[in-house]
Amino acid sequence: MTSVQTTGSGKGRRDPKPLMSTAVINPVMSDTVDDVDFPYEDDASQQQKVEALEERLEILERQNDEMRDKLLDANAENNKYQQKLERLTHENKKLKQSPLFVATVQELTDEGVIIKQHGNNQEALTEVTDEMREELGPDARVAVNNSLSIVKQLDSETDVRARVMQVDQSPEVSYADIGGIDEQMEEVRETVEMPIESPEMFDEVGIEPPSGVLLYGPPGTGKTMLAKAVANQTDATFIKMAGSELVHKFIGEGAKLVRDLFELARQQEPAVVFIDEIDAIASKRTESKTSGDAEVQRTMMQLLAEMDGFEDRGQISIIAATNRFDMLDRAILRPGRFDRLIEVPKPDFEGREMIFEIHTRGMNVADEVDFAELADLAAGASGADIKAVCTEAGMYAIRDDRLEVTTEDFEGAWRKIQQTDDEEAEISKTFA
């Protein structure tokens, strides 16, 4: 506290009361009033002293107002900097924190939660709060700190599922769109359609419904189309996944994706699960016993486990496909795994004729065009090749400014497709 004294140059003034205010009269604004400089001479009259003091008071009040304004501004500024400082301190703290690791919950036990870290696959038993424990379940993704305590639960990996699985609620392909593989179509219908459409029949007869079929044959022969047509016929959801997507870097990920795939299928029941390129996870075991091989095996085992038992599986039919039958591990071809192994070959002459008819249904084809002739011409073509020939023939007509597609267009298109195939074969030989 500033003490108020009346010594110094103001020694003429002895009344302490008015002098209280003179403590701030000092224009130099000293902390004490020891050296207060009065604005009048000692011998000034009373009247002059009052006037001088009033004048000084006015000046000081104005100065005081100004100072108060400045103080307010400074306070506001100070607040702003304070907030900025807090923000930066927080950021700084965050940057200094060690990153959290991602792990998957394996099991909830009485002793704690067993988690498996991604990347190094180390398993650990860790404690969690009761609240968090209620939220967690097996396969939940969590973030753990350095001491492997669970810090928070992460969103499940639906994005990964969406990326690798193609879901089609009602595919547009029907059996009438598929040509040249009637026998195969019949077999697929028997094995896949029945369990979805009349599961009770299997119950009554007392046998397990077939778990799935394996289609094998060269590319572009209609394997995917067959699976889509079954889904369409049975009003089932079509879920497609490529086997190559199941081959993952980290242990357990492939098997988890298989579980996810079937979980999704159960949610969408009835469903047709189509696994393309099954050879990626079911290739013959080589001599090498790397951890990668073991992982691929585990993924396959998970798939076989999901295929087992209709009760657990629900109204889900499985169709797998491969272009590399020779590569497949015999183990997956044993009875009780895939119920039928169906070869889907390249179409024969009649098949090609039919496929030409199918793919020209909506086209404006000249009367002179003979599909038998085209089928003869396109010997060795797959269904996909024939589709490409039809589209290309249409392009020839458009380029020529015609609305009708002629035999000549088809012939030119076939030559072009063959040439492209040859070029592609050459390129893949170069890079092989």
**Interface with ligand ATP by CB under 6 A: which residues?**
178-181, 219-225, 276, 321, 323, 355, 358, 383-384, 387
Closer of 19 and 319 to ligand ATP (Cβ): 319
Task: Show the beta-strand stretches assigned E in 70-136.
Answer: 101-109, 112-117, 123-126
Which two tokens mark 102? 């991602």
Helix (H) or strand (E) holding 166: strand 165-168
Q: HSE-up of 310 (CA within 13 Å, CB side)? A: 20
Pick between residue 222 and residue 243 the one whose CB is nearest to ligand ATP: 222
Q: How far is the CB of 379 from ligand ATP (least distance, A)?
A: 16
Diameter of the chain measured on Cα atoms:
136
Residue nearest to ligand ATP (CB): 383
Q: How far is the CB of 363 from ligand ATP (least distance, A)?
A: 14
Helix (H, G, I), strand (E, B) or coil at 145: coil
**How long is the chain?**
432
Task: Please check whether residue 274 is in contact with residue 262, taking contact to mean a CB–CB distance below 8 angstroms.
Answer: no
d(CA 108, CA 347): 54
Indicate the residue among 10 and 180 with the shorter CB distance to ligand ATP: 180
Shortest Å distance, C-beta 96 to ligand ATP: 52
Which pair of structure tokens corresponds to residue 136?
A: 């967690």
Helix ranges, 248-332 (H)? 253-267, 291-307, 310-313
Are the beta carbons of 325 and 216 closer than 8 angstroms?
yes
Q: How far apart are the first and last CA of the chain?
A: 92
Note whether 104 and 139 are within 8 A (CB).
yes
How many C-beta atoms surround the C-beta of residue 387 within 10 A? 17
Residue 309: beta bridge partners? none
115 vs 46: CA distance, rounded Å: 92
Strands (E), 235-289: 237-242, 271-276
Q: From the CB of 100, what's the least distance to ligand ATP, in Å? A: 41
- Minimum CB separation of residue 221 from ligand ATP in Å reads 4
Q: How far is the CB of 220 from ligand ATP (least distance, A)?
A: 5
Nearer to ligand ATP, 276 or 306 (CB): 276
As measured in angstroms, the least distance from the Cβ of 428 to ligand ATP is 14
In angstroms, the CA 259 to CA 314 distance is 14
Q: C-beta of 332: minimal distance to ligand ATP in Å?
A: 18
Specify whether the CB–CB gap between 39 and 52 falls below 8 A: yes
Shortest distance, position 422 Cβ to ligand ATP, whole Å: 18
Helix axes 383-399, 407-431, angle to 10 degrees: 120
C-alpha span between 222 and 369 (Å, rounded):
25
Rounded to a whole number of angstroms, the minimum distance from the CB of residue 424 to ligand ATP is 13
**How far apart (Å, rounded) are the C-alpha atoms in residues 46 and 51?**
9
Q: Are 66 and 29 in contact (CB under 8 A)?
A: no
Residue 256 or residue 359: which is nearer to ligand ATP going by CB? 359
Shortest distance in whole angstroms from residue 340 CB to ligand ATP: 16
Nearest-CA neighbor of 257 among 139, 362, 367, 171?
139
Choose between 178 and 397: whose C-beta lies nearer to ligand ATP.
Answer: 178
